[in-house]
């Protein structure tokens, strides 16, 4: 059985439709934009696209490298089998799993990434620990994946509402939930490329130095109050978060309080980059091309 296909080929794995609520077109567009740039580059790489349902990890011939947006457990298992056979995958299957809230929390804590007070609860347990201060204003989020449908993220203002949210998750056979304190402030979204080191200085609309890249913005659907904050601190916090989870292509959400404190509330593997698609595709392709050059030298 051959371990790799011809060196000039890499595979791109699309995201599952169920993991792209409202973003199906944007998710596919960024992946294909990156693939097009790789094929246009002087490196001469050929990109072949795969659906998550169409991969097994047991293919007879594999590429030296793949880049993927899939998030479902079956597809991630296939990626792990590819990695076990020597394929470099961006983002790695492990790093995608690390973005799941119950996995992310201890990793972010170890990296000193500020997050709101959070508690993991067993949704199968009808009783919940008493914590009226936390339950008075909090978000109940499924612990194992990001939001894919209504009920995955619910706002609660007392213990009864928390219990009801847990019951909804239990009915869907989702075993655990993260209860996270609500913080008043401005929502900031951020995007990045790179493994956490060497991200260039950048602010909204500014220039980014080097092959790594970072952007932040306020989403239109959440108009900011205008809380001032240190953009460099946001960049550093986001870098540490991505590095802690092992991500190379990433995004996330943070809250900036009235005092300018920054708290990360979510980190995602390979977002849609919708507002910065062309710019992001250039930087992701450059990052992947550099990786491809390195892995090609040792490909069998």
At residue 88, the pLDDT reads 94
At residue 20, the pLDDT reads 67
Neighbours of 243 (CB within 10 A): 19
At residue 42, the pLDDT reads 61
Distance CA 166, CA 169 (A): 5
Whether the per-residue pLDDT at 124 is higher than 90: the answer is no
Reported confidence tier of residue 294, pLDDT bands at 50, 70, 90? confident
Is residue 245 within 8 A of residue 96, CB to CB? The reply is no
What percent of the chain is predicted at pLDDT more than 90?
71
At residue 4, the pLDDT reads 47
Neighbours of 258 (CB within 10 A): 12
pLDDT tens digits, 32-71? 999 999 998 766 789 999 999 999 999 999 999 999 999 9
Q: At 159, phi and psi to the nearest 5? A: -60, -35
Whether the per-residue pLDDT at 229 is higher than 90: the answer is yes
At residue 147, the pLDDT reads 56
Reported confidence tier of residue 145, pLDDT bands at 50, 70, 90? confident
Hey, what domains does the chain have and what are their CATH numbers?
9-91+279-298 (3.40.50.11950), 117-181 (3.30.1490), 184-269 (3.30.470)
At residue 296, the pLDDT reads 61
At residue 48, the pLDDT reads 96
Q: Is the pTM of this model over 0.85?
A: yes
Reported confidence tier of residue 295, pLDDT bands at 50, 70, 90? low
- When pLDDT is averaged across residues 10-20 and rounded to a whole number, the result is 88
Token pair belonging to 158:
């007392």
Neighbours of 130 (CB within 10 A): 9
Whether the per-residue pLDDT at 259 is higher than 90: the answer is yes
290: exposed, middle or buried (C-beta count within 10 Å: 0-12, 13-18, 19+)?
Answer: exposed
At residue 219, the pLDDT reads 95
Instruction: Quote the mean pLDDT of the chain.
Output: 87
Q: Which residue has the higher pLDDT, 43 or 123?
A: 123
At residue 211, the pLDDT reads 37
pLDDT tens digits, 186-216? 999 999 999 654 343 333 433 333 338 999 9
Q: Helix and strand tally (H, E) in the chain? A: 8, 12
What percent of the chain is predicted at pLDDT more than 70?
85
């Amino acid at each position: 059985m051959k371990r790799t296909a011809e060196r000039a080929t890499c595979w791109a794995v699309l995201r599952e439709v169920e993991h792209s609520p409202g973003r199906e077109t944007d998710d596919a567009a960024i992946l294909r934009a990156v693939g097009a740039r790789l094929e246009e580059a002087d490196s001469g790489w050929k990109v072949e696209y795969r659906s998550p349902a169409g991969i097994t990890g047991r293919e007879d011939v594999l590429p030296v490298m793949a880049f993927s947006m899939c998030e479902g457990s079956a597809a991630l298992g296939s990626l792990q089998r590819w990695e076990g056979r020597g394929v470099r995958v961006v983002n790695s299957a492990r790093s995608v799993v690390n973005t799941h809230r119950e996995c992310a929390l201890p990793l972010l804590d170890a990296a000193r990434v500020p997050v709101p007070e959070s508690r993991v609860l067993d949704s199968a347990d009808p009783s919940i620990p008493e914590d009226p201060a936390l339950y008075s204003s909090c978000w109940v989020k499924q612990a194992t994946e990001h939001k894919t449908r209504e009920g995955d993220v619910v706002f609660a203002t007392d213990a009864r509402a928390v219990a009801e949210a847990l019951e909804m998750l239990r009915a869907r056979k989702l075993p655990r939930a993260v209860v996270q304190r609500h913080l008043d402030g401005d929502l900031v979204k951020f995007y990045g490329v790179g493994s956490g080191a060497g991200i260039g200085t950048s602010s909204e609309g500014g220039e980014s130095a080097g092959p790594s890249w970072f952007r932040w913005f306020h989403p239109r659907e959440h108009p900011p109050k205008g809380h001032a904050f240190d953009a460099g601190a946001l960049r550093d916090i986001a870098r540490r978060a991505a590095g802690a989870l092992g991500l190379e292509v990433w995004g996330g959400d943070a809250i900036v309080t009235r005092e300018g404190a920054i708290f990360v509330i979510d980190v995602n593997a390979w977002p849609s980059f919708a507002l910065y698609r062309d710019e992001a595709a250039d930087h992701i392709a450059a990052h992947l091309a550099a990786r491809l050059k390195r892995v090609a030298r040792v490909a069998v």
